[in-house]
Amino acid sequence: VDVFFAGEFGIAEGDFALTAEGCVSGDISGSVQVTPSGLVRGTLDGLPISLRLNASGDVMITALLDDDIQEFIVAVKRPADAVTADFEGVWNFVDLGSPTDLTKSYYNSMTQMNRQAPSDSFAGANEQFVDTFFRGAFYAESGSATVASDGSFTGFASGTMTTTANGTAALVIGEGPETFYLNASKNLMIRVKREDGDINEQRITVIVKAPPSLSIADLAGPWRFSNMETPNRLVEVYFNHTTGQTRNSIDSSDFAGRTGQTESLVDMFFPGDFGVGGGGVGIGTDGSLAASFSGGECGRQHRRLDHVDKRRREL
C-alpha cells in the first residue's frame, strides 16, 4: 500500500495592475467586472473567478476548489505611498500554517528496523509500509502588537515594522526582515511563506489594524466572508492478522504492529473534512446577524477522499 496527496501544497504571490476598464495584467492576466452586488467577477489566467470586495475597494478575497486542491486567496490594492508612521496603532494578526509533506515509515522484516522516508519514497525489499504522518505541524496563532510612530512594537513579540519600497512593510522580530504587503487604506497586511527542508511548513498571515474605538453599530451593514477548512491529521486503519479485526490509529505515532501482533496498514482517511466556503451576511446595528443578502452567494462544499467535480468553482 502507498499513499500520496492528489494535489500539492503551495503558496503563490505576485503583482498585477487593474485598469478602470477591468483589464488585469502582470503576474496574472485577464479581465474582471464589478457586479451590482459588489462582487468582482471575471476570468484570470483562463479560469473563472469571483472575488469578494471590501468597502474601501482595496481588499479582495476568495476560496476555490479545483481538481485536487483548495486555495485561499487574498489581494490588496497597493498604497500610493506609505511611511513608517502610518503603522502607528494596534494591530491584530492571525497566522495559519500547515505542513507540506508526509513522512512514511517502512518496517524491514529482515533487519527488524524502521526506515522513515519522504512521501515520494517506496517500500524496498523486505519492507512493509507501516505508518505515515504529516512532517511538521498544523497551527493557528493569533495575537496583537502596539506599534509606535517610529515603527517599534511590543505585544506578542518585540520588533520593528518599517516601510520599504512600494508601500510594503518590513517586520523584524529577532531575525528577518519579513515582507508584508499593505493595502491602500493602510489597515491590512498580508504575507505568505513556505519553508521546505527541516521546517517543512507553509503559512498565510493576515494583519489588521484595530480601529481607535468601536461600537456594535459600527459593524452594521453587509459583510462577505471566504474560508478554507483542512483536516489536521490522518487516521490509519490496521488489520490484525491474528484476530481478523481492524483498529484505527490512536495518534500520529501509532503504526502497524505497535500492538506487538502482526498488523497491516490497510487504509487511511482524514477524520475531518476539506472544504471552502463563502457568502454574505448582514449585521444589524444591535449586532444581530441577518440572513444572506442578495448576491451573498452563501455556499459551502466539503469532501474527503473522493470527489469527481473537475470544474473549478467559487463558493
Partner 1 sequence: MIRKILSGPGAALLASLVISSTAFAADLSMLAGDWRFASVTNPSAVRESYYNSNTMQTRQSVNSSDFAKAGE
Q: Which stretch binds partner 1 (CB under 8 A): 107-115, 151-159, 169-177, 265-273?
A: 265-273
Residue 52 sits at the vertex; the CA angle it makes with 48 and 53, to the nearest 5 degrees, is 125
Q: Which residues 69-88 are close enough to bind partner 1 by CB under 8 A?
A: 69-78
**CB of 111 or CB of 166, closer to partner 1:** 166
**CB of 15 or CB of 196, closer to partner 1:** 15
Q: Beginning with the edge strand found earlier in the chain, give each strand of the sheet holding 23-26 in spatial order.
A: 23-26, 30-34, 39-44
Size of interface with partner 1, in residues (CB under 8 A):
107
Q: Does 285 bind partner 1 (CB under 8 A)?
A: no
Q: Does 192 bind partner 1 (CB under 8 A)?
A: yes
Q: Does 157 bind partner 1 (CB under 8 A)?
A: no
Q: Does 9 bind partner 1 (CB under 8 A)?
A: yes
Using CA atoms, how far residue 42 sits from 27, 31, 50, in Å, is 16, 6, 7
**CB of 89 or CB of 152, closer to partner 1:** 89
Residues 23-42 as x/- pattern, contact with partner 1 by CB under 8 A? ----xx---xxx-xxx-x--
- Min dist CB 150 to partner 1, Å, is 25
* CB-based contact 103:132 (threshold 8 Å): yes
Name the one residue in this structure whose C-alpha cell is 479545483. Answer: 66
Q: Does 48 bind partner 1 (CB under 8 A)?
A: no
- Min dist CB 139 to partner 1, Å, is 6
List Cβ neighbours of 6 (8 Å cut-off, separation of 6 or more): 68
Positive or negative torsion for Cα 313, 33, 72, 219: negative
Q: Which residues 164-183 are close enough to bind partner 1 by CB under 8 A?
A: 166, 181
What is the pairing mode between strands 152-155 and 127-134? unpaired
Please report how many Cα atoms fall inside a 13 Å half-sphere around the Cα of residue 177, on the Cβ side: 13
Please identify which residue in 197, 213, 244, 251 interacts with partner 1, judged by CB under 8 A: 251
